[in-house]
Amino acid sequence: METQTKQTFSELLGEDSYSYLALLNSRNAENAIMIRSIFLFLDRTYVLQNSMLPSIWDTGLELFRIHIISDKMVQSKTVDGILHLIERERIGETVDRSLLRSLLSMLSDLQAFGTTIVMTPEKDKDMVQDLLDFKDKMDIIAEVCFQKNEKFINSMKESFETFINRRPNKPAELIGTKYVDSKLRAGNKEATDEELERILDKIMIIFRFIHGKDVFEAFYKKDLAKRLLVGKSASVDAEKSMLSKLKHECGAAFTSKLEGMFKDMELSKDIMIQFKQYMQNQSEPGNIELTVNILTMGYWPTYTPMEVHLPAEGKKELQVSLFQTLVLLMFNEGEEFSVEEIKTATGIEDSELRRTLQSLACGKARVLIKNPKGKDVEDEDKFLFNSDFKHKLFRIKINQIQMKETVRNIYFEVHSIEEQVSTTERVFQDRQYQIDAAIVRIMKMRKTLSHNLLVSELYNQLKFPVKPGDLKKRIESLIDRDYMERDKDSPNQYHYVA
């Protein structure tokens, strides 16, 4: 099929623009129809049953699109030919309008621009910005060239919604985890408050086109939690503005947990103020600065619990994290420890321990000495206390080495595969609960319903895309759990079990 497409392009390059367009369109359609006829059984059985495989016709369009985009000569000749036809009609000449209509329809079907932005994994880091730029360009064309014609505006909205959702979940993930996070994170000096507000408004326009909004919510909540807990949010006003936009777009239920996170932070702040005032009135107020956040479990993302072994009390003039403190206090009991010994004594998880040891032995303030020297922590490395440690400051803050997904330049970060998978699985699990609840709700109201009518009702009620196969699995699960039953005479008929 690819060979046939290349041959068609090369054979017709010598034709003039008008003949080239006419022959190119008809020849490509003929080739696609012929190949689809040969593989008709394959197309209607195996391909149709496998939702991940494109049809023969879609494959032909994809190859056609690739060659038009990749070959500048073909692209130039195609566009010049269409513009030439339009110009001839404007000066009063008779042109084949059916050809012009079919060519424009062909370019529309190819989805050469929007689909390329979304379906190219190598350009994922630029996807959101490219979508925003493309939307701005289309808005200008609709306003200047078509005077905001309502039909053009609606067609543009439908097109954006179609091509953005051709790659399920990924645009929602990138908008929630990379682009919005990079704009709302402290240290972003690219925009003023007014410019940031305009950027968030543009983001919401793209957000409206996304079907998997629950995927966006899961990743957005995870990054919002990091910004709030670490104190890296650029502006509370900007955060609340984004929250208000999401609430206006998706309703109060969508943002209830996000709003709860802000309430927890405000409550924690008030409690800490009261605690500090209480400590100041004590006879021995102490000199340790303590900050505690009190969080509602249902509002925040779930984290893997870690059990650690707290050592005996000790005093250090270092500003360190809990894990760094556990490691340092071990050196009250001995001069040298291996990685395995530290891991056993503290109970810190392996990857977290390695980052902690890196911060203490490989950073600017090297409280520990690593043997042998090097930036990475290996299993056979030994660590001993640096008795010659010197620093000009009285209070030294030792920064923890951040995980890969929380490096400063969030826009170019690569989230760990495990975290992406776990977040996606959590979204999938939440969807299963929502599907089960919707099925029970419908059957409780209708009592008896056919399979097709039940599926139709579910599509109307569910707010996220779902495959028929997934609905069938949830129905079977509810039947197994005695929430409903099949009709004995008609297997496609279901009865609610009270």
pLDDT tens for residues 371-399? Answer: 888 778 888 888 888 877 777 777 777 77
**Alpha helix locations (H) across 39-113?**
40-44, 46-49, 56-70, 72-90, 97-110
- Model confidence at 13, pLDDT cuts 50, 70, 90, reads low
Convert the pLDDT of each residue in 152-202 to its tens digit: 888 888 888 888 888 888 888 888 777 888 888 865 666 678 888 888 899
Q: Is 216 left (phi over 0), alpha (psi -120 to 50) or beta?
A: alpha
Give CA–CA dist 310/308, Å, rounded. Answer: 6
Helix (H) or strand (E) holding 212: none
**pLDDT for position 494:** 92
Give CA–CA dist 124/412, Å, rounded. Answer: 10
Domains annotated for the chain, with CATH where assigned, are 2-112 (no CATH), 170-275 (1.20.1310.10), 318-408 (3.30.230.130), 417-496 (1.10.10.10)
The token duo for 247 is 């609430």
pLDDT surpassing 90 at residue 265 = yes
Give CA–CA dist 436/118, Å, rounded. Answer: 32
**pLDDT for position 475:** 92
pLDDT surpassing 60 at residue 284 = yes
> How far are the Cα atoms of 117, 345, 420, 498 from residue 333, in angstroms, in the given order?
58, 11, 40, 65
| DSSP classification of residue 447 | S
The token duo for 85 is 């036809």
Q: Which of 102-116, 146-160, 162-176, 449-463 has the lowest mean pLDDT?
A: 102-116
Mean pLDDT calculated for residue range 251-270: 92
Q: Are 187 and 234 in contact (CB under 8 A)?
A: yes
Q: Which of 34-48, 414-428, 433-447, 467-481 has the lowest mean pLDDT?
A: 414-428
- Model confidence at 408, pLDDT cuts 50, 70, 90, reads very low
**Alpha helix locations (H) across 310-413?**
322-329, 339-346, 350-361
Q: Are 285 and 279 in contact (CB under 8 A)?
A: yes
Q: Are 196 and 238 in contact (CB under 8 A)?
A: yes
Mean pLDDT calculated for residue range 238-248: 90
pLDDT surpassing 90 at residue 263 = yes
Map 391-441 to HEC letters: CCCCCEECCCCCCHHHCCCHHHCCCCHHHHHHHHHHHHHHHHHHHHHHHHH
**pLDDT for position 6:** 66
pLDDT surpassing 90 at residue 264 = yes
pLDDT surpassing 70 at residue 86 = yes
pLDDT surpassing 50 at residue 216 = yes
Radius of gyration of the chain (CA): 30
**pLDDT for position 66:** 66
| DSSP classification of residue 371 | E
pLDDT surpassing 60 at residue 415 = no
- Model confidence at 304, pLDDT cuts 50, 70, 90, reads confident
**pLDDT for position 15:** 65
**pLDDT for position 17:** 60
- Model confidence at 313, pLDDT cuts 50, 70, 90, reads low
**pLDDT for position 413:** 47
Q: For the chain, what percent of residues have pLDDT higher than 90?
A: 12
- Model confidence at 244, pLDDT cuts 50, 70, 90, reads very high
pLDDT surpassing 70 at residue 1 = no
Q: Which residues pair with 383 in a beta bridge?
A: 337, 370
Convert the pLDDT of each residue in 337-366 to its tens digit: 888 888 888 888 888 888 888 888 887 777
Q: Give the three-state DSSP class for 278.
A: helix
Convert the pLDDT of each residue in 418-433 to its tens digit: 677 778 888 888 889 9
**pLDDT for position 414:** 45
- Model confidence at 47, pLDDT cuts 50, 70, 90, reads confident
Map 244-259 to HEC letters: HHHHHHHCHHHHHHHH
Cα-Cα-Cα-Cα torsion 204, 162, 168, 303, nearest 10 degrees, comes to 10
Give CA–CA dist 292/304, Å, rounded. Answer: 19
Q: Which of 42-46, 351-355, 459-463 has the lowest mean pLDDT?
A: 42-46
Phi, psi (rounded to 5 degrees) for 383:
-130, 135
pTM for the predicted model, two decimal places: 0.58
- Model confidence at 403, pLDDT cuts 50, 70, 90, reads low
pLDDT surpassing 60 at residue 407 = no
Contacts of 235 (CB under 8 A, 6+ apart): 184, 193, 196
Give CA–CA dist 296/303, Å, rounded. Answer: 13
What number of CA atoms fall less than 13 Å from residue 66's CA on the CB side?
13
Picking from 237, 204, 199, the residue whose alpha carbon sits closest to that of residue 220 is 204
pLDDT surpassing 80 at residue 108 = no
**pLDDT for position 259:** 93
**Average pLDDT of the chain to the nearest whole number:** 81
What number of CA atoms fall less than 13 Å from residue 52's CA on the CB side?
0
- What does the buried/exposed string (b/e) look like for 295-320 if buried means 16 or more CB atoms within 10 Å of the residue's CB? beeebbbeeeeeeeeebeeeeeebeb
